[in-house]
Amino acid sequence: MKKFLKPIIFAIYFIFVGSSFIFNFESGELIGKNFLSFTFSMVKIIPVAFVLIGLFEVWIKRETIEKHLGDNSSWRGFLWAILLSGTTVGGLYVAFPIAAVLHKKGAKLSVIFTYIGASAVCRIPMVVFEASFLGIKFTLVRLLVSIPLIIISSVIMGNILIKTNYKIAKQ
């Protein structure tokens, strides 16, 4: 039964959107247009991002990741993770695959969590956009509050997972 659930849900969605266009149901039409807009924006970003992630995986040596983001990286690992996350384009769609590559190459769990959290908060285009609309003072306060909280929560999560001998399942 579970096998057929996803196709049924997709069919219901597309029937709803299609009938919305036939019967001029404005909310359903808007849902369909938003879906297409989102799909086209992802088609533009995801292939390029995955090529760059593949190049990152091939070109960056495991020793480099272990040295700068590994168990012996101290506070510099967190700094590198925040700087790397600031340049991440595509949001969390790209951040999670990069995090998987970092884990595979030997980065410390707390540094990986910092990278994921900071990529949701510290991306350069987002910070510039925010500063231009809400002001530099607001943006600086937000960053000065959120970055330490991201690091603290990352260290706590990393320590908990290490103590419980958590392993990521191989797929």
The residue among 91 and 22 whose pLDDT is bigger is 22
- Pair 66, 103: CB distance under 8 Å: no
pTM of the model: 0.76
Angle between helices 136-163 and 109-121 (to 10 degrees): 150
Where are the chain's structural domains?
1-48, 60-171
State how far Cα 155 lies from the chain centre: 18
For residue range 77-106, list pLDDT tens digits in order.
999 999 988 888 777 778 888 898 898 888
Q: Tell whether the model's pLDDT for residue 1 goes beyond 70.
A: no
Q: Tell whether the model's pLDDT for residue 2 goes beyond 90.
A: no
The pLDDT assigned to 153 comes to 96
Q: What is the mean pLDDT of residues 108-119?
A: 93
The pLDDT assigned to 171 comes to 57
Whole-number Å distance between alpha carbons of 92 and 10: 24
Q: What is the mean pLDDT of residues 146-156?
A: 95
Return the closest-CA partner of residue 39 out of 17, 56, 7, 15.
17
